[in-house]
Structure 1
Amino acid sequence: NYSYLFMGRFAGDSWGSFKYMIRAGWKLGCGVAAAVIAIEESYMYWKYGHTHWGKEHH
């Protein structure tokens, strides 16, 4: 039974289980977000000659 392998991480207090789940996905989520922002800003620079952050708002 594969669920036996993961029972120790989620057994016990619910706060510890919640923290474990958040930390497990935190690094991947930050990496994906940084990659999406980099791609988006690169496209803006390539297409319009400036990034979204460097655009002048009138």
Structure 2
Amino acid sequence: MLPSSYYDRIVDVAEELVRFTVLTRGHTDQLVGRYSERKDRNEPVVTPAELARIPGV
């Protein structure tokens, strides 16, 4: 790829993706769980609004 503003932007996006990946390691349970899947499995469903009311969360 030739040096250009597009090349610079692609490099920037790739770096951000790596940073995001590193920062989110260890948080898989929170990031991959979907409300609809928990609901379908009849698991307890806690909404973000309910989490905001729980002290210490």
Shared fold (TM-score, shorter chain, > 0.5)? no
Give the TM-score of the pair, scaled to structure 2.
Answer: 0.44
* Greater relative CO, 1 or 2 (CA 8 Å, sep 6+): 1
Q: Which has the larger radius of gyration?
A: 1
Judging by fraction of residues, say which structure has more helix. 1
